[in-house]
Structure 1
Amino acid sequence: MHPEARLAKVGLSLPSPIPPTEHYVPYRFAGNLLYVSGHGPRRPDGSYVTGCLATSEEVAMGYEAARQAGLQMLATVKLALGDLERVEGVVKALGMVHSVPDFTFHPKVINGFSEVMTTAFGDAGRHARSAVGMASLPHGMVVEVEAIFLVRDGSAASV
């Protein structure tokens, strides 16, 4: 099944890709690896889901934000590749959670991102991962995730 059809089956869809707000590129190829810059939970109007997680009661909000970051990232991957079917697998993800120093639920928050990847790609979406806390994130966003994808033929889409 096509990755976007798998997402649609559970009520998820890709947002429009949004260009970076700073001086960097959203993705870069190195052979058959696609390195994707950090993505946050950006809303269609360009604003972000913001906040600093402090308690276990806030995990659900962080999880949803990480899920949105995953969908936003997949929109960028589609932009880079032309079709998500070119993804052979998700290699590695780094999930950063804006949290207070004693918050310990970072993995549960970043599961929102990871579950989007496995929904889209099945077992190929399972990846190595780090989930860490940060004192702050750009734009005050609550989560940011970067990832590396293994792709067929390692070249950009013709757009």
Structure 2
Amino acid sequence: MRIEDRLRELGLVLPEPFQSPTGQPYPFRWVRVRGNRAYVSGQLPLAPDGSLAQPLGKVGAEVTPEQGRQAARLAALAAFAGLRRELGDLDRVTAWLRVFGMVNVAPGFTQVAGVVNGFSELLIDVFGPDVGAHARSAVGMAELPFGVAVEIEAEVEIDGRA
């Protein structure tokens, strides 16, 4: 099954490009392709229009663990959208290699892996267990950009067609 079909089947909508609250451009690529790899810069949870998804804050304080999981799912959709814009077709992704999840945590919050599972589980639901299998790290951070609950970066293998 094509990835676009799977997204529709699951009722998922990929967001528009990130609309920074500062309005300033960033001096880097959201997805950088080199050879048969695509490096996905840190993705934030986005609303469909590309604005920051709510709620903002620290998981374990203003944000519940379940809201954090949902934020991680939204960050996954942002990553998928960036890959589609750069590659033209999500079916060019042949393997998810590495995921690095960062969670904005309140002091003492230790359920970081469970929050980042929101990203990992959606990734496998959409791309399947073979392409979606990945290595992963999940860490708690004192702060993240704009006060978001999660930021997630990744590395994928792609086919060589342009």
Report the TM-score, using the length of structure 1 for normalisation.
Answer: 0.89
Does 2:68 match 1:58?
no
Where in structure 2 are there 5+ consecutive unaligned residues?
Answer: none
- Counting only pairs closer than 5 Å after superposition, residues 94-105 of structure 1 correspond to structure 2 as 94-105=100-111
Structure 1 residues 54, 35: CA separation in 2 closer, same or farther (over 3 Å shift)? Answer: same
Residues 99, 137 of structure 2: 8 Å contact kept: yes
Residues 33, 154 of structure 1: 8 Å contact kept: no
- Counting only pairs closer than 5 Å after superposition, residues 128-147 of structure 1 correspond to structure 2 as 128-147=135-154
2:31 corresponding residue in structure 1: 27
Report the TM-score, using the length of structure 2 for normalisation.
Answer: 0.87
Output one character per residue of 1:70-94: Cα deviation in whole Å (capped at 9) or x when no partner. 0011000001110001000100000
What letter is aligned with 1:96? M
Does 2:134 match 1:127?
yes
Q: CA RMSD in A?
A: 1.8
**Alpha-carbon distance in 2 for matches of 1:32, 1:19:** 28
Where in structure 1 are there 5+ consecutive unaligned residues?
Answer: none
Identity of aligned residues (%): 40
What letter is aligned with 1:106? V
Structure 1 residues 78, 45: CA separation in 2 closer, same or farther (over 3 Å shift)? Answer: closer
Q: Number of matched residues? A: 154
**Alpha-carbon distance in 1 for matches of 2:146, 2:27:** 15
- Counting only pairs closer than 5 Å after superposition, residues 83-122 of structure 1 correspond to structure 2 as 83-122=89-128
